[in-house]
Amino acid sequence: MKPGSQRRPVLRLAALAGLILAGACRPQALPAPLQPGIGDPYFPSSGSVGLDVLHVELDLRPDFAARTIDGSARLSIEATQRLERFSLDLAGLAVEYLTIDGRPVALEREGSELWIAPSAPIAAGTTFDVEIAYSGAPGQETPEAAFRFSQGWQFFDGGAYVASEPDGASRWFPANDHPSDKATYTLRLSVPPPYVAAANGRLLEVVQEGQTRTFVWESADPLAAYLVTVVIGDLQVREGLAPGGPPLRSYYPAEADEAVIAQFDGIAQMLGYFETLFGEYPFAAYGTVVVPTELPFALETQTLTLYGRNFDGSPNVIAHELAHEWFGNSVSLQHWRDIWLNEGFATYASYLWYEHLTDREHAQVELHALYRTLRQSDERINLAIGDPGPERLFDEAVYVRGALTLEALRDTVGDSRFFEILRTYAERFRHGNASTQDFIDVAEEVGERDLDRLFHAWLYEVEVPFMPGWGDEPGL
Ligand code: TRP
Ligand code: ZN
């Protein structure tokens, strides 16, 4: 129960490179290249210029023996500028055909970019459908390597799961792989018995055809590509209701005993409490999935948090992942450098839950202890979390110092303004994107004061600010 018991091992940086140049097909000279990515300096090739993906339909048939996937993606896209050529992110899978509004078009593969040249330029504001049939073996990583820098679709003995933060979505479907372009999704997952397929949103239907069952999942609320998940295994489902909140549905390994399932019993209550702090739960459902394999992480995949079979049930991790539904999933990053808006907020929320179970003083004792540790740590641990760099995106400092930044804000503006700031921010950017400046603007507006110095010191300077009363007065 003590937040201090939350272990977040030091980052092991998996190779970001290693993308396979897939069978390039050059039917004709294409118009001059554009930028490959949406312009995020941390992931320069992620995302696409000039596209707003509105809806994505994925139809997938995994082959568990061959460890391949085979299927199609239909993306409904609005051109935000005139498009002579555009790119989607797709790494390492073979494209069988590609059409725009039903007509075959030229394509070219270049690293993780899938360049597409429509037969005639698409005017700004036009909505069009891209359909892509694709297949192959999605890149497989050890769970250790997938920790913190995930690699999309992963098979294991007994099923498959998807974990893609920050840039692994393109390893299992053609995506505008950046959180600044969210879309709604329909997933059709066709699997043989005894497999059950869980995914984000709501299960619309299960269609039986011979031996195959197709699980049709729909997310009517938009989500970032990295938050799309699929978990397939021999799973059992448990359904419930959060009082006054969304329907709950959670998936566990078929053989999981009641003690494992009971670890998540507190979620309905936790969700209700977070609604009082952050505002109404932003999505149509919530639940967890315990993947029937060991994972060294949990991931806040939208409406369906991912845990491994080895998860120890720690309530502060459950609280952390649940809080991401508001902070990270509903309000998403505009740039990856703003990662503290996800991890600092979720970490702080786990202390808010602890405070609820105990009292403010107990939570403060923990937070101040964290603060003292951070003050004593050097730059191998500590860092300017407002711009941590792509390699240190998920460093422990982003979590800890991010949480302490919120504690410092609360200390400065007082409880009632502080929670009003969180609610205003969650409400104003609901189902959208925000940057650190957006949060500072809300804090200054609701807090009714200039907070530039506070945020500058906490986010953009390496040295940890001195906080009177936090227990490390100089000379003590
Ligand atoms: N966002 C996750 C958390 O804080 C951590 C994480 C980052 C992660 N990248 C990941 C987990 C990739 C799994 C895979 O809970
Ligand atoms: Zn997190």
For 293, phi and psi rounded to 5 degrees?
-155, 165
328 CA to middle of ligand 2, Å?
A: 9
Nearest ligand 1 atom to alpha carbon 394: 7
Nearest protein Cα to ligand 1, atom 7 = 148
Nearest protein Cα to ligand 1, atom 1 = 299
In this structure, is the dihedral angle defined by the CA atoms of residues 392, 393, 394 and 400, taken in order, positive or negative?
positive
How many beta carbons lie within 10 A of that of residue 243, not counting itself? 9
Which ligand gives the minimal distance to the CA of 347? 2
Check: CB of residue 456 under 8 Å from CB of residue 462. no
316 CA to middle of ligand 1, Å?
A: 15
For 163, phi and psi rounded to 5 degrees?
-140, 115
Who's near 361: CB < 8 A, 6+ residues apart?
Answer: none
What's the pLDDT tens digit per position in 265-318? 999 999 999 999 999 999 999 999 999 999 999 999 999 999 999 999 999 999
Residues forming beta bridges with residue 240, ordered by sequence position: 248
Q: What is the dihedral of CA 80, 83, 85, 89, to 10 degrees?
A: 10
Nearest ligand 1 atom to alpha carbon 328: 1
Nearest protein Cα to ligand 1, atom 12 = 148
Nearest protein Cα to ligand 1, atom 2 = 299
Amino acid identity for residue 53 in this structure: V
Nearest protein Cα to ligand 1, atom 9 = 148
Measured between alpha carbons, how far is 387 from 108 in angstroms, rounded to an integer? 34
Three-class secondary structure assignment of the chain: CCHHHCCCCCCCCCCCCCCCCCCCCCCCCCCCCCCCCCCCCCCCCCCCCCEEEEEEEEEEEEECCCCEEEEEEEEEEEECCCECCEEEECCCCEEEEEEECCEECEEEEECCEEEEECCCCECCCCEEEEEEEEEECCCCCCHHHHCCCCCEEEEECCEEEEECCCCCHHHCCCECCCCCCCEEEEEEEEECCCCEEEECCEEEEEEEECCEEEEEEEEEEEECHHHCCEEEECEEEEEEECCCCCEEEEEEECCCCHHHHHCCCCHHHHHHHHHHHHCCCCCCCECEEEECCCCCCCECCCCCEEEECCCCCCHHHHHHHHHCCCECCCEEECCHHHCHHHHHHHHHHHHHHHHHHCCHHHHHHHHHHHHHHHHHCCCCCCCCCCCCCHHHCCCHHHHHHHHHHHHHHHHHHCHHHHHHHHHHHHHHCCCEEECHHHHHHHHHHHHCCCCHHHHHHHHHCCCCCCCCCCCCCCCC
Nearest protein Cα to ligand 1, atom 3 = 299
Q: Measuring from each residue's beta carbon to the nearest atom of ligand 1, which residues come in under 6 Å?
A: 146, 148, 150, 163, 165, 297-300, 321, 343, 394
Report the chain's terminal Cα–Cα distance, integer Å: 30
- pLDDT value at residue 149: 67
Nearest protein Cα to ligand 1, atom 6 = 148
469 CA to middle of ligand 1, Å?
A: 33
- Residue whose structure tokens are 């609280």: 319
Nearest protein Cα to ligand 1, atom 4 = 343
430 CA to middle of ligand 1, Å?
A: 21
118 CA to middle of ligand 1, Å?
A: 36
Measured between alpha carbons, how far is 339 from 372 in angstroms, rounded to an integer? 23
Ligand 1 pocket: which of 161, 294, 299, 305 to mutate (most atoms within 8 A of CB): 299
Measured between alpha carbons, how far is 63 from 155 in angstroms, rounded to an integer? 10
Find the angle CA(176)-CA(182)-CA(188) to the nearest 5 degrees: 80
475 CA to middle of ligand 2, Å?
A: 35
Residues forming beta bridges with residue 186, ordered by sequence position: 57, 218
Q: Which residues of the chain have pLDDT under 50?
A: 1-29, 475-476
- Residue whose structure tokens are 């390492």: 92
87 CA to middle of ligand 2, Å?
A: 30
Measured between alpha carbons, how far is 382 from 388 in angstroms, rounded to an integer? 10
Q: Which of 474, 163, 147, 113 is nearest to 304 (CA)?
A: 163
Nearest ligand 1 atom to alpha carbon 321: 15
Q: Which of 108, 106, 124, 107 is nearest to 51 (CA)?
A: 124
Q: How far from 258 is each of 254, 262, 264, CA to CA, in Å?
A: 11, 6, 10
Measured between alpha carbons, how far is 446 from 441 in angstroms, rounded to an integer? 9
Ligand 1 pocket: which of 148, 229, 307, 310 to mutate (most atoms within 8 A of CB): 148
Which ligand gives the minimal distance to the CA of 393? 1
Ligand 1 pocket: which of 42, 150, 302, 347 to mutate (most atoms within 8 A of CB): 150
